Chains A and B, each alone.
Chain A
Amino acid sequence: MNINAANKGPLIDANRWRRYQITFTTLFSKEVTRFSRIWIQTILPSAITTTLYFVIFGRLIGDRIGPMEGLAYIDFIVPGLVLMAVITNAYSNVVSSFYSSKFSRYIEELLVSPAPNWVILAGYVAGGVARGLAVGSVVLIVAAFFTRFSIHNLGVTFLILLLTAILFSLGGFINAIYANSFDDISIVPTFVLAPLTYLGGVFYSIELLPQPWQTLSLANPILYMINAFRYGLLGVSDIPLGLAFLIIAIFIAALGYYSLSLLRRGIGIKQ
């Protein structure tokens, strides 16, 4: 029997689009398998932190804070906490997975393959989205134990979750391309994402802020996502919904384009 009947040509799908689909599915399921295998590091922490937030801010001191935008405080913080989990998990999934593949050089398995850059990017982003949504759902389930929310607008809720997860997966990808050490992959989450999320109105309505902080907050893109998501879940928002979608779309387009241009130039992955 032949081992490598080379004259038959490569054993790849003759249809280019089916070939891309196989590549994408392989990458995606590799990513899902990865974060599911290490669920104690990837899924559990967010579930625990948000439980603590609900217990402390919702149950213990929430009553003293009083209602926010006409909602019980514990209800008000649900959307922000869910979105915070989505942002952190989408971002860290892509940044650590892609950086590890650079660090241990198995990124080369992809570089030698005929996979086009956009399929590679799509596979990693889909992995980040899957983890973001998985953890987001876990947090929502936790929230259901503490609060009695009903989803105001399912379409908006889901779309914002999805788009936010895509956006921050792209962010994680760009971070991984530039990273040269494991330190470099925690700098942005710690020093940029966390502050922007906390200041993006997870715990308060920006109407409470004095000027100039109220206006300055409008420069924070995460504010728009949290408010749009809050609209989807609870029907209240500090921000017009259309503007929120527009801003998210612009960021996705810009980061997506930038990621592809980094890949095309081989920055950080090819000598």
Chain B
Amino acid sequence: MLALSVHQLSKTYANGLQALNAVDLQVEAGDFFALLGPNGAGKSTLIGIVTSLVRKSGGRVEVFGHDLDREPEAVRANIGVVPQEFNFNLFLPAIEVVLNQAGYFGVPRKEARGRAEMLLRKLDLWDRRETEMRRLSGGMKRRLMIARALVHRPRLVILDEPTAGVDIEIRRTMWGFMREINAEGTTIILTTHYLEEAESLCRNIAIIDHGRIQSRTDIATLLSELDTETFVLNLKGRVCQLPSLGGFVLEHIDESTLEVQISREHTINGLFEALSRNGIEVLSLRNKQNRLEKLFLDRVEAGRGATP
């Protein structure tokens, strides 16, 4: 069963800008799906069309088999969306924002109250339910938008950069929350700029740029396509003379910090053995560049080469 099926979707804005160009995309029910792309790629436009906020110029959208043009109410009933920008009445108490949204969807009042309470408790907002939206912190506003998106129990949840501007601790809580509802069977599509977010959460991924899908694959395959990885090593003591190690390219950053490139046929174990043989002790290591980020740049570059 497909949660989302987009066929030849195009969008040209009133000013003539073509934001989407014949996009085809399919997302299976139950998937945790990432839509990645640089700023201006067309992610929010695609989400806007699927959620009835933006009018399409051409193409077809189906959500759980319902066609957006023929059964718009069924499509909307099945989707919960967390938009990129805050869009609520700043003067309303938090709980009313959630209850109003439930009402617009046609959730009976009693069920809406119960569900709003459960969601606000789960998202750590229950104590702030009577607080006006404008008095909530950025992270609370984000979480409230998640509660609002879920209040009618949607089968597909779409989040447009949900953790932008949210501090790391709250981001991790939000990740846990999203994993939980995905494990329960909710299909999730998210766009993000924190690429490690996609890597740690998502199973499948599409890369979009200039209004076109550049690639559509699963995260594991994508990562395995990496040729080299670069690590930064903090050393115990100083090393002035770099040994030459077969298969590893070493570079000084300063006397006690090294950068090393490992190609795909070599392992980190091999690197450590080689370093030990040369009397170099490592205190800590980290990825120099997020792997997905590197891939992503490679892909986009390749895509740009192919379509001038």
Contacts and interface: CB of A to CB of B under 8 A. Distances in A.
B106 A3 contact: no
A13 interface: yes
A19 B107 CA distance: 7
B103 A25 contact: yes
Interface size class of B (residues with CB under 8 A): 35 or more
Contact of A108 (B55, B87, B111, B154): B87
Contact of B77 (A12, A26, A104): A12
A9 B153 CA distance: 7
Most-contacted residue by chain B among A3, A4, A10 (CB, 10 A): A4
A105 interface: yes
A4 B105 contact: no
Contacts of A152: none
Interface of A: 1-13, 18-20, 22-23, 25-27, 30, 100-101, 104-106, 108-116, 266, 270-271
Contacts of B14: 271
B143 interface: no
Contacts of A13: 106-108
Contact of B115 (A8, A11, A22, A270): A11
B181 A10 contact: no
B53 A10 contact: no
Contacts of B78: 9-10
A270 B13 CA distance: 11
A113 B48 contact: no
B29 to A, nearest CB: 9
Given A12-B152, A23-B105, A105-B87, 9 more contacts: A18-B106, A27-B103, A101-B89, A104-B87, A104-B88, A106-B88, A112-B81, A114-B72, A271-B13
A266 B55 contact: yes
A112 B76 contact: yes
A4 B184 contact: yes
B234 interface: no
A5 B181 CA distance: 8
Nearest to A12: B106
A10 B77 contact: yes
Contacts of A19: 106
Interface in B92-150: 97, 99-109, 111, 115, 118-119, 122, 148, 150
